[in-house]
Amino acid sequence: MSVSTTHAPGEELLLTRETPVQRRRVRAAWLFLTPMLLCLALVAAWPLLRTFWFSLTDANLADTGGGTFIGLSNYLFHNGSSWSGILVDPQWWNAVRNTLHFTVVSVGLEVVLGLLVALLLNIKFTGRSLVRALILIPWAIPTIVSAKIWSWMLNDQFGIINHLMLSVGLIDAPLAWTADADLSMWAVIIVDVWKTVPFVTLLMLAALQMLPSDCYEAARVDGIHPLKVFWRVTLPLLMPALLVAAIFRILDSLRVFDVIYVLTSNSSSTMSMSVYARQHLVEFQDVGYGSAASTLLFLVVAVIAMLYLYLGRRQLEVRS
Amino acid sequence: MIKLKLDNVNKQLGGARILRDVSLEIAAGEFVVFVGPSGCGKSTLLRLIAGLDSICGGDLLIDGRRVNDLEPRERGVGMVFQSYALYPHMSVYDNISFGLKLAKTEKTSLRERVLKTAQILQLDKLLQRKPKELSGGQRQRVAMGRAMAREPDILLFDEPLSNLDASLRVQMRNEIARLHDRLGSTMIYVTHDQVEAMTLADKIVVLNGGRVEQVGSPRELYERPASRFVAGFLGSPRMNFLPVRLQTPGETSLVNTLVWGITALPFDSTNLAAGTHLSLGIRPEHLSLKAAEGTAGVVVTAVEYLGSETYVHLDTRLEEPLICRCEVSAGWKAGDRVELLPDIDNLHLFAADGTALKRHPHAIETLPDGVLLSPARASAL
Amino acid sequence: MNLRLLKKALLRLGFWCLIGVLLLYAVFPFYYAIVTSLKPSSALFEVSYWIANPDFSNYAAVLSQASFLRAIGNSLVVALCVVTLALFLSLTAAYALGRVKFRGRGTVLMMVLGVSMFPQVAVLSGLFEVIRALGLYNTSWALILSYTIFTLPFTVWVLTTFMGQLPHELEEAAIMDGASPWVTLTRVLLPLLWPALVTTGLLAFIAAWNEFLFALTFTLTDTQRTVPVAIALISGGSPHELPWGLLMAASVVVTVPLVILVLIFQRRIVSGLTAGALKG
């Protein structure tokens, strides 16, 4: 570990050794990392492996270790006459569709709104820091609480949203936001967008402030229209930060649980993959089946995360 | 007594050789300055001695003991960093005493030592202040105090004055010199500033490209540079180099100097072949000027007035213009035609590989009168 | 000339309108929760935009519920323990990852980043088994342990970023003074990291305070529940008759401290969030 050889062209081999200080620091580094690694192994790595294993068994919640190995039957199974398993469960595919629907719409809205708000708050004006602090409020409110507040505001009989829309004349009868199958997904999206736009705004603001100001001065001197400057200069320069924010949000949205659970509980029109998995795990006590659903969700997230890491590395390479 | 010895020390980082076969002896109580252009390996060498970087090959001995594998605190060295690196959250007292505390020094002697150090560095009244409440010079002194507090035998300075403004730098330079006289400890000092090197050092080590070019007292290095590199590195304005050709090799060389024609110079060139290209070095202060008549001599292209002296730039139609250091009263102007008179005792002759030719000890030859050439004749040669 | 002035004035007006809309959008729901919570149950079903006659009966009702107070206590204990644990574990880890060059450093960082992307539900069944095996089911310890899965990667990541920004020579000075890595960390670097610790601790606290899925799954009885679960489970006589006033009062009680923290530490939180996201 401490001795390695390096060879420069035309030179004799030399031993590259570490100083005692460096050796001690590397030893200390591993020692310092151990508690964290142990903790993550206990709460992340091991449970994940167990989940994979459960997905191949018929374990139930009362006795998770007592399941027997049944291969991939939780995923797909043919009993001679018909197929069963998650992959042919219409409920699961409904959950997948819902999750994707939710992710695409809410992340899209969040990124666009976040960028617009960031551009607005990037303008210098008196009271800017107060406004910045105030828009953080939705982010600080617990998801459960914001879901409750919004479900009160969206209440079909007494909700202020319906009241407003009625008095303006947008609708002529109150809408059942959280119960109506056509509207409930929109209700979920409204709440999620409200809560997470501040986060995206913050990232965008930070990125905006790192942009080189001389580009803009040059553009202004040349008399280029501000909109053109935005499309040609600002947006391309913001792209990396925008992508990071979008991927963070995509990963979060794919595992969405709290908002949906509280706002619309087990309604099938909003059920996400996480809600589906937890329902089978905890409510139906079918650990094997639920774990199989969790595993599938994990795989989807892993593929996207890998894509992100790959893109991130590519970007680093381009930059250097 | 030899305090510190480097024996064929090598350092390699990645594929790059940073230091090649550096051998050096430093006596106890000596003030040694490592000097060289940036990237020459001088800071790395200091860090190897400190124990912050590893030695890839060769030995480092302190008091005759091999210390390659010892930690910095076991080597008995203290170090002053370029950026001072004071602990921002600690008072001056705590900064100075931190190392002593870690060494489990007994309380009363710790206090005594800190106070003594502070007194030497005139920090007595600042002991309770935080670094951010100090001026640049005071921070510099605290950094020295921290390095000194454990009374190391060897004090290392890594370009300690480069963050100070010019006037403060001169003042701190004097303080460091006084400190060395007072403490008598061995000091190793890295700088790229030749004035610091010349004024502070008992011994200068000139490094270039990871190799030691020359070791010696400031005067030795200035007056008898071992290579063209050292000759050009020390001295400002730098030494003039004239391309010359060896006419007749021997203990006294006959050299075709282009400017002065064929001249006998007191350098031993027995090993070289006739016709070899050499380089003649003359410092600006070792040239004098005389008004030339008619179209003879060379033309003054520019005059730089510095108050106490002037630098006269001369067009010799050779590689680069010559610079001559003159008294202000001489009153040369651009466009004047002058004859060049070199000081024969202070010439240097370098082989094509840069090494200085050995000066013949009993050289008595002097420049014959009337060898001065016009540029027209020089170019005809 | 006048036209240009007019245009400028209109632009300013439009700008301030936008800011107004933004603020309304951000703040109104919380404000409306406060309005609702201050209404007696008789006035609940008339929509109003202002606080006319503040009535604190909902707060009195919420704060007299032993189980709700208990939930606040549980949430506090859990969040504080998680913050302490995560900060301690990540401080040493961040020193290793941020200041020491060693083989495997990149791999460890990637692993940490990977864990932060886990869907929580993916470890739910495995974690459930671990918690039951350790005998922690339906205790606060189950939550403290399981919350490290999302707090730890985050705190490690942010503290590593902050740690890497401290000057190199400071640590070398400590080495010359004879400090071991532990002493360097605790006595030289730690005192300089306080601002970063406050930031990360605050973010971890908020994350732990808000967590719902684990809290819902790993606790069973009223005495062990945390605030989000308690609020989610507040129900009225029938599913269609939620006690909205009470619910909003509870929401305001658990949110006001967070909002105050966020307003005070706004700058720090922003630096922490962006350090975690952009500099990776």
- A214 in B contact zone (CB under 8 Å): no
- B51 in A contact zone (CB under 8 Å): yes
> What pLDDT sits at residue A7?
41
Residue A186, classified by CB atoms within 10 Å of its CB into exposed (0-12), middle (13-18) or buried (19+), is middle
> What pLDDT sits at residue A6?
42
Mutate to test the interface with B, among A21, A23, A25 (most CBs of B within 10 A): A21
Residue with tokens 């921070």: B139
- C170 in B contact zone (CB under 8 Å): yes
Segment C175-194, tens digit of pLDDT: 999 999 999 999 999 999 98
| Closest chain C CA to residue A282 | C217
Residue C7, classified by CB atoms within 10 Å of its CB into exposed (0-12), middle (13-18) or buried (19+), is exposed
Nearest to B30 by CA among B6, B68, B7, B2: B2
- Distances in Å between the alpha carbon of A154 and those of A180, C38, C47, C172? 12, 19, 12, 60
> One digit per residue, pLDDT tens: chain A, 320 residues?
333 444 444 444 455 567 778 888 899 999 999 999 999 999 999 999 999 999 998 888 877 777 788 888 888 888 888 888 888 889 999 999 999 999 999 999 999 999 999 999 888 888 888 888 888 889 989 999 999 999 889 888 888 888 888 888 888 888 888 888 888 899 999 999 999 998 889 888 888 888 877 777 777 778 788 888 888 888 888 888 888 888 888 988 998 999 999 888 778 888 999 999 999 988 888 889 999 999 999 999 888 888 877 776 666 555 44
> What pLDDT sits at residue C215?
93
> Which residues in chain A have Cβ-Cβ distances shorter than 8 Å to C244?
152, 155, 158
| Closest chain C CA to residue A158 | C45
Dihedral sign, CA of C125, C128, C133, C134?
Answer: positive
From A64's Cα to the closest Cα of chain B, the distance in A is 53
A141·C255 Cβ contact <8 A: yes
C173·B87 Cβ contact <8 A: yes
Residue B186, classified by CB atoms within 10 Å of its CB into exposed (0-12), middle (13-18) or buried (19+), is buried
Contacts of A236 (CB under 8 A, 6+ apart): none
Tell me the helix, strand and coil percentages in chain C, rounded to 5: 80, 0, 20
A244·C277 Cβ contact <8 A: yes
- A174 in C contact zone (CB under 8 Å): no
Q: What is the ipTM of this complex?
A: 0.88
| Closest chain B CA to residue C179 | B102
Cα gap C206→A208, rounded to integer Å? 26
From A298's Cα to the closest Cα of chain C, the distance in A is 6
> Which residues in chain A have Cβ-Cβ distances shorter than 8 Å to C256?
none
Beta bridge partners of B189: B33, B157
- Distances in Å between the alpha carbon of A303 and those of A251, A297, A300, C220? 10, 10, 5, 34
Beta bridge partners of A15: A5
What is the three-class DSSP state of C48?
A: coil
Mutate to test the interface with B, among C166, C176, C193 (most CBs of B within 10 A): C176
Q: Give the containing element (helix H, strand E) for A17.
A: strand A14-17
Structure tokens at B334: 């651009």
Is the preceding peptide bond at B237 cis, omega within 30 degrees of 0? Answer: yes
Cα gap B60→B52, rounded to integer Å? 13
> What pLDDT sits at residue A273?
92
pTM, rounded to two decimals: 0.84
Return the HEC string of chain B.
Answer: CEEEEEEEEEEEECCEEEEEEEEEEEECCCEEEEECCCCCCHHHHHHHHHCCCCCCEEEEEECCEECCCCCHHHHCEEEECCCCCCCCCCCHHHHHHHHHHHCCCCHHHHHHHHHHHHHHCCCHHHCCCCHHHCCHHHHHHHHHHHHHCCCCCEEEEECCCCCCCHHHHHHHHHHHHHHHHHHCCEEEEEECCHHHHHHHCCEEEEEECCEEEEEECHHHHHHCCCEHHHHHHCCCCCCEEEEEEEEECCCCEEEECCCCCEEEECEECCCCCCCCEEEEEECHHHEEEEECCCCCCEEEEEEEECCCCEEEEEECCCCCCEEEEECHHHCCCCCCEEEEEECHHHEEEECCCCEECEECCCCCCCCCCCCCCCHHHHHHC
Note the helical H segments in A211-255.
213-221, 226-229, 235-254
What is the three-class DSSP state of A16?
A: strand
Q: Give the containing element (helix H, strand E) for A39.
A: helix A20-40
| Closest chain B CA to residue A10 | B15
C119·A125 Cβ contact <8 A: no
CB C193 within 8 A of CB C98: no
